[in-house]
Structure 1
C-alpha cells in the first residue's frame, strides 16, 4: 500500500511538471489568436514559423551567444577558484581552515538584493556596465561561496594520507592539487558545474541591473522584450523560453549520472 501511494504521488508530481512544459511547447506552434482561443489544446499544425520569426526579427543569435559566453566563462572560473580555495581549506589547520570556510559561508547568507546598490556602484566606477566582462566578474563573485561550500564538503572526505604520501614523494601543493584533489573531486565538480550552469544561464537580476544595450543582452533579459504594457506575445515568448531551456535540458540529459554521483559523493564516510 505504501508503494502504491508513493507511485500515485510520483505520477501526480510528474503531471504537475509535464503538463505546463507540454503547454509551453505546443504554444510555440500557435498564433496569438489560437493561443487565446485554445491555450492548453494541441496546435492546428506543427508550424515552425515562430522559431524562424524569432531569429529573423530579433537578435536572438546574439543573445544566445552572449549567454553561452557569460555562462561558460563564469562556470569555468568559479570552479577553478572554488576548487583552489576548497583545497586550501582542507590543507590548513582546523582553526584557519574553519575561519576561511566560515567567511565564505557568510557570503551565502547575504541576499542578492542587498548587494544591488553597492555592486552597481562598484561596476559603474570600474566602467564595466554594458560589458560581458563586468557581468562575468559579478557572477563569479556571487556564486563563489556556494561552490566553495559544496566542494569543501567533498574534499574533506578525501583521506589526508593521500596528500601526505604525495608530499613525501616530493610533490608541491600545486602538484598535489592537480594530481590528487582534482581527479578525485570530478563527481563533485560535475555536480557543481551543472548547478552553476543553471544559475548563470537563468540569471535575470544582474543582466537587468548592468546591461542596457541590446548587443550585450543575455537570453533571460531578451525575453522581456516580448512582454508589453497591455499585451504579451505569448507564442513568441514561449518560443524564446524553449530556445533558452534547450541547453539546460540537453546538458542534464547527458550529465545526469555525474550530477547524481556528485550529490551523493561524500555523504557517507568510508
Structure 2
C-alpha cells in the first residue's frame, strides 16, 4: 500500500512539475525566463502574454480554424462511423466481417506512409490550403479507429431489440436513429473525446497541406514562436495553455460519458 502511494506520488510529480513550469513561464517575460527558468517571476505575474498572443499574433483566427476543422471532423467521422458500425453489426455475416477487417487494416497503415500520394491527390483536387481538404483528410484518417470502437460496442447490443423493432415495422434508419444511437451515447461520447484530442492536436496534416497563414491551425501556428537560433518560450507556452484549454474543458464536462464509454462492452449483456 505504501509502495503504491509512493509510486502514485512520484507519477503525480512527474506530471505536475512540467505543467507548473509551463504555467509559470507563460506569465514571465523572455528576460525573466532566461534569468530564472524555474522560479516565480519577480515583480508579479505578467499576463500580457495572453493579451499579446491574440492581438499581435492573430491567434484568434488560428483558434477559429482549429475549432472549425475539429468540429466538422469529429461530427462527420462519428456520423459515418456509426452508420458503418451499425451496418456491420446488422449484416453479421462474411460481408460484415470483411468490411470490419478492411477498416481494421486501415488502422495499421501509418499516416507517414501515405503522405506523398495523399498530397498528390489533394493537389490534383485543388484542396491544399483549404479547411475543407483538411477536414476530408482528417475524416479518412480517423474513420477506421472510430468504426473499430463503435462496432465493438454495437455488437454487445441485444439482437432482440433489432428483431422486435423490425416486427413492429421499423426500418433500418428508424432503428438506427431511435434505438441504436441513444443506446450508443456513452460509446459515441468516448469516441468523440478521443477524436477531438487527435484532431485538435494534429500537426502533421496542417503542416503538409497548409502554407497560407489564413488557414493555419493552432498547433501549426505555435511553430512561429520557434526559430532556428532562438525560441520565444513565454509566448510558446502561453499558446500551449490556450491550445490545451478546450481539451480540458471538454473532458471535464464529458468525463462521465468518457468513463462509461471506455467500460461499455467490457461485459456482454
Which among 7, 10, 31 is matched to residue 5 of structure 2?
Answer: 7
What's 1:266 paired with?
265
Report how many residues are paired: 268
- Scaled by the length of structure 1, the TM-score of the pair is 0.98
When the two chains are superposed, the root-mean-square deviation of aligned CA atoms in Å is 0.7
Correspondence list, 1:168-179, <5 A: 168-179=167-178
For structure 2, the 5+ residue unaligned runs are: none
Distance, in Å, in 2 between the alignment partners of 1:132 and 1:141 is 14
- Which aligned runs of 4 or more in structure 1 are off by greater than 3 angstroms? none
Deviation at 1:93, TM superposition (A): 2.9
What's 2:196 paired with?
197
Deviation at 1:250, TM superposition (A): 0.8
What's 2:51 paired with?
52
What's 1:214 paired with?
213
Distance, in Å, in 1 between the alignment partners of 2:257 and 2:12 is 22
Distance, in Å, in 1 between the alignment partners of 2:148 and 2:37 is 43
- Cα deviation digits, residues 112-139 of structure 1 (max 9, x gap): 0001001100100000000000000000
What's 1:34 paired with?
32
What's 2:130 paired with?
131
Report which stretch shifted further, 72-81 or 249-258.
249-258
Deviation at 1:14, TM superposition (A): 1.1
What's 2:231 paired with?
232
Find the residue that maps to 2:82 and give its secondary structure: helix
Given that 2:138 and 2:199 are in contact with CA atoms closer than 8 Å, whether structure 1 keeps it comes out as yes
Distance, in Å, in 2 between the alignment partners of 1:183 and 1:42 is 49
Report which stretch shifted further, 199-208 or 248-257.
248-257
What's 1:143 paired with?
142
Given that 2:88 and 2:99 are in contact with CA atoms closer than 8 Å, whether structure 1 keeps it comes out as yes
- Scaled by the length of structure 2, the TM-score of the pair is 0.98
Distance, in Å, in 2 between the alignment partners of 1:93 and 1:24 is 50
Find the residue that maps to 2:241 and give its secondary structure: helix
Distance, in Å, in 2 between the alignment partners of 1:258 and 1:37 is 45
Q: 1:24 and 2:22 equivalent?
A: yes
Deviation at 1:243, TM superposition (A): 0.6
Distance, in Å, in 1 between the alignment partners of 2:181 and 2:25 is 44
Correspondence list, 1:84-103, <5 A: 84-103=83-102
For structure 1, the 5+ residue unaligned runs are: none
- Cα deviation digits, residues 157-196 of structure 1 (max 9, x gap): 0001101100100000000000111000000000000000
Report which stretch shifted further, 10-19 or 153-162.
10-19
